[in-house]
Amino acid sequence: MSSIHQFKVKAIDGGTIDFADFKGKKMMIVNVASECGFTNQYAQLQELHEKFSDRLVIVGFPSNDFGGQEPGSEAEILDFCRTQYQVTFPLTEKVKVKGRNKHPVYQWLTEIGKNGVMNSKVGWNFQKYLINEDGQLDAMLSPANPPICELVLAWLKTK
């Protein structure tokens, strides 16, 4: 079975995010948007990043797929995230998370034929995918689930 560690993604600042660098750590993959009712979840994502960076990597994937709620350029998105929420966790280039042209990482996350665990659809901004230390999909959380919740905290304690 393939793992998420096979992917490399263009970072919002022009560098590369190599998921192989995160082997041995849990990951939370989140599609993010700057003008969404859930945008304030950036604060909890950053808090998780700061508290658990020894064992958790959060990667935000900006996307304009829902309600046009991420209309800005990558430079504007990065400035917003850093200014409003002091975001220091990795952010990717702006991507598609649904439809025919969805990013390969999101193809892997949403298709059982690729991830070996489940089919899912990204329903809105701030949907969370939980990936274990071996790069396998553990769970998907709805956008309404805050990043810091009992389920996530319990998951962080498991091996």
Per DSSP, the three-state class of 43 is helix
pTM, two decimal places: 0.97
Q: How much is the pLDDT for 159?
A: 75
In this structure, is the dihedral angle defined by the CA atoms of residues 124, 125, 128 and 134, taken in order, positive or negative?
A: positive
| Tens of pLDDT, residues 106-147 | 999 999 999 999 999 999 999 999 999 999 999 999 999 999
Amino acid residing at 101:
N
Q: How much is the pLDDT for 50?
A: 97
CATH number of the domain within which 32 lies: 3.40.30.10
Give the total number of structural domains in the chain: 1
| Half-sphere exposure of residue 121: CA atoms within 13 angstroms, side-chain side | 6
| Tens of pLDDT, residues 3-30 | 999 999 999 999 999 999 999 999 999 9
> Which residues lie across from 33 on neighbouring strands?
none
36 is catalytic: yes
When comparing pLDDT for 2 and 85, which is higher?
A: 85
| Tens of pLDDT, residues 55-101 | 999 999 999 999 999 999 999 999 999 999 999 999 999 999 999 99
Contact 153, 97 (CB under 8 A): no
Q: Which of 17, 36, 56, 152 is catalytic?
A: 36
Query: Domain residues for 132?
Result: 4-157
When comparing pLDDT for 38 and 1, which is higher?
A: 38
**Percent of the chain residues topping a pLDDT of 70:** 99
